[in-house]
Amino acid sequence: MGLKNIKVGLLPGVLATLLFLMPQLAFAASATSVDTTVWWVWVLGLFVFTFLLGIVAVIAGVGGGVLYVPIVSSFFPFHIDFVRGTGLLVALAGALSAGPPLLRKGLANLKLAMSMSLIGSMSSIAGALVGLALPEKAIQMALGLTILGITVIMFLSKNSAYPQIEKPDALSKALQIHGIYYDEHLKKDVDWQIHRTPVGLLLFILIGFMAGMFGLGAGWANVPVFNLVLGAPLRVSVATSVFVLSINDTAAAWVYLHKGAVLPLIAVPSVAGMMLGTKIGAKLLTKVHTNVVRRVVIILLAVAGLRALLKGFGI
Amino acid sequence: MKQETVHADKVQLAYAGILSKATTLGMILVALGYIVYVFQLMPLSVPIDQVAGNWGLRASEFHQKVPGAPSGWSCFSHAGQGDMLSYISIIYLGIVTMMCLVAAGFAFLREKNMIYTLVSFAQIAVLILAAAGVVSGGH
């Protein structure tokens, strides 16, 4: 088991070190240099890279978008505008394919998702508009700081599988947000309700804005807010987050589409690679130690965040 | 030990049914569109080399330098070209959620759940405004 964990952690660990120390050696190009590599090498490389990211992302329990944007924008020659547009599509495609079984099992709750995404989708449009208007260096800097913040959240957050909510708040009662699902771990039905709905709504404005601005998807923020702030069970939080993603990312993706910040040449191999990778990752999920991979992803994110920050400073 | 019970309501099942079919179709369209594009099975509006030579530019600069590259709904006016077809398949992914929300909105209406009927149609309105370019900087 230990050897297996080392093997699983080795590839992304080596990749992270290589990318940080020698990006030019690793990918032999930067956005500013004249790129003489033929296009299909980049496209194929992107597909392979996103395939590996997909495997790692699902095992670590993070969305693909949050890994995709900082890493691809740091180490591939595409402008960050196109990377953010593609990052939203990567997160959107993943959310769309993951959705049906989560809804059918009753794990995802449509009322909870729709209540939060109505306001979140509006702010994600605003975030995308601001993000595409800001200078590149400011975006890189803000992205770097955000990714480093996410790294800290991932490192410190302790989810609560079954939060106990004694009394739902008035707004959640008015919005009929409560539910019941069959928990495969407990082998019984679990009733749930939520509280602090107004606080949750405010937080989803912020989350939507950041998702749109950086093209990150936002599972990293949706899940803690659903789980730790609103008090939804962890499984419901993870599943419902997928629906909030699919709505908010759709809204922001339209901004990128209208601004011409989506290139099919980059977007399709990214979406395909990530989706294939997540399918393989889901199969490996029971065979590898997820905590080890999660730690590696935290390191990978920290490295990518630091690189983005340095790029923002022109270093 | 309790047998697994499904607790999804009718609206969720309606949403899931459409989402499943629409996403499968979307993935097929995206794959086919891309094959047509990169293998140049149809004429392209912009050569791939030209796209690759400028993908390091800001989106706004890219479109100044590479006029004719798809953006927004412009792809439909040149739907007979390979790169536009690939772009249309991506546009389709942006419509899937709207289709599901329409189904959910009518399902809530049938249940006489006015709060979520309103929430569904308000959400659809936001997405339509974004898709139309009204609130998303479209032309």
Q: In this structure, what are the phi and psi dihedrals at residue B63, rounded to the nearest 5 degrees?
A: -75, -25
Q: Which residues of A touch B68 (CB under 8 A)?
A: none
Q: Which pLDDT score is estimated for A299?
A: 85
Q: Which residue in chain B is spatially nearest to A132 when comparing CA positions?
A: B59
Find which of B40, B42, B48, B97 to mutate to test the A interface (most A CBs within 10 Å of its CB).
B97
Q: Which residue in chain B is spatially nearest to A258 when comparing CA positions?
A: B72
Residue with tokens 């999804």: B8
Domain-embedded: residue B1: no
Cα–Cα dist A156/B82, whole Å: 47
Is the CB of residue A121 less than 8 Å away from at least one CB of chain B? yes
Across A27-133, where does the E strand assignment appear? none
Q: Is B31 helix (H, G, I), strand (E, B) or coil?
A: helix
Q: Which residues of B touch A263 (CB under 8 A)?
A: 51, 55, 69
Q: In this structure, what are the phi and psi dihedrals at residue B40, rounded to the nearest 5 degrees?
A: 50, 50
Kindly determine whether residue A96 and residue B93, on different chains, have CB atoms separated by under 8 Å: yes
Q: Which residue in chain A is spatially nearest to B73 when comparing CA positions?
A: A258
Cα–Cα dist B90/B80, whole Å: 16
Domain-embedded: residue B23: yes
pLDDT in tens, A23-47: 444 444 444 445 667 899 999 999 9
Q: Which pLDDT score is estimated for B32?
A: 95
Cα–Cα dist A162/A160, whole Å: 6
Q: Which residues of A touch B91 (CB under 8 A)?
A: 257
Domain-embedded: residue B77: yes
Q: Which residues of B touch A268 (CB under 8 A)?
A: 30-31, 33-34, 37, 86, 90
CB atoms within 10 A of CB B47: 12
Q: Which pLDDT score is estimated for A33?
A: 47
Using alpha carbons, select from A15, A87, A247, A102 the residue that is nearest to residue B122. A247
Kindly determine whether residue A132 and residue B49, on different chains, have CB atoms separated by under 8 Å: no
Query: Residue A107: which pLDDT band, with cuts at 50, 70 and 90?
Result: confident
The answer to whether A255 touches A125, Cβ cutoff 8 Å, is: yes
A:144-163 residues touching chain B, CB 8 A cutoff = none
Kindly determine whether residue B71 and residue A179, on different chains, have CB atoms separated by under 8 Å: no
Overall average pLDDT of the A224-241 stretch = 90
pLDDT at A195 over 90: yes
Kindly determine whether residue B38 and residue A262, on different chains, have CB atoms separated by under 8 Å: no
Q: Which pLDDT score is estimated for A86?
A: 95
Q: How far is B110 from chain A (nearest CA, A)?
A: 16
pLDDT at A1 over 70: no
Cα–Cα dist A220/A241, whole Å: 9
What string of DSSP letters covers B20-51?
HHHHHHHHHHHHHHHHHHHTTSS--SS-HHHH
From the list A100, A189, A267, the residue facing B19 with the nearest CB is A100
Instruction: Give this prediction's pTM.
Output: 0.86
DSSP label at residue A1? -
Is the CB of residue A46 less than 8 Å away from at least one CB of chain B? no
Q: Which pLDDT score is estimated for B4?
A: 60
For chain B, the domain total comes to 1
pLDDT tens digit at each of 139 positions of chain B: 555 666 778 899 999 999 999 999 999 999 999 999 999 999 999 999 999 999 999 999 999 999 989 988 888 888 789 999 999 999 999 999 999 999 999 999 999 999 999 999 999 999 999 999 887 655 4
From the list A79, A132, A179, the residue facing B57 with the nearest CB is A79
Overall average pLDDT of the A234-241 stretch = 88
Domain extent for A228: 2-312
Domain-embedded: residue B138: no
Query: Residue A297: which pLDDT band, with cuts at 50, 70 and 90?
Result: confident
Q: Which pLDDT score is estimated for B137?
A: 59
Q: Which pLDDT score is estimated for B3?
A: 58
Domain-embedded: residue B4: no
pLDDT at A7 over 70: no
Domain extent for B96: 14-132
Q: Which residues of A touch B122 (CB under 8 A)?
A: 118
For chain A, the domain total comes to 1
Kindly determine whether residue A96 and residue B122, on different chains, have CB atoms separated by under 8 Å: no
Find which of B4, B12, B32, B127 to mutate to test the A interface (most A CBs within 10 Å of its CB).
B12
User: What angle (nearest 5°) sits at the alpha carbon of residue B20, between those of residues A241 and B73?
Assistant: 85
C-alpha A123: how far from its chain's center? 17
Cα–Cα dist A20/A169, whole Å: 47
Q: Which residues of A touch B89 (CB under 8 A)?
A: 264
Domain-embedded: residue B31: yes
Domain-embedded: residue B92: yes
Alpha carbon distances (Å) from B118 to A32, A47, A260, B3: 49, 41, 32, 36
Alpha carbon distances (Å) from A236 to A32, A110, B123: 44, 11, 22
pLDDT at A208 over 50: yes
Q: How far is B42 from chain A (nearest CA, A)?
A: 15
Q: Which pLDDT score is estimated for A238?
A: 86
Is the CB of residue A103 less than 8 Å away from at least one CB of chain B? yes
pLDDT at A95 over 50: yes
Q: Which pLDDT score is estimated for A159?
A: 73
pLDDT at A199 over 90: yes
Query: Residue A210: which pLDDT band, with cuts at 50, 70 and 90?
Result: very high
The two structure tokens encoding residue A67: 């890994």
pLDDT in tens, A110-156: 999 999 999 999 999 999 999 999 998 899 899 899 989 888 887 88
Which residues, including other chains, have CB under 8 Å from residue B104's CB and lie 6 or more apart?
A: A110, A114, B11, B14, B15, B116, B120
Domain-embedded: residue B137: no
Is the CB of residue A179 less than 8 Å away from at least one CB of chain B? yes
User: What angle (nearest 5°) sits at the alpha carbon of residue B48, between those of residues B43 and B54?
Assistant: 140
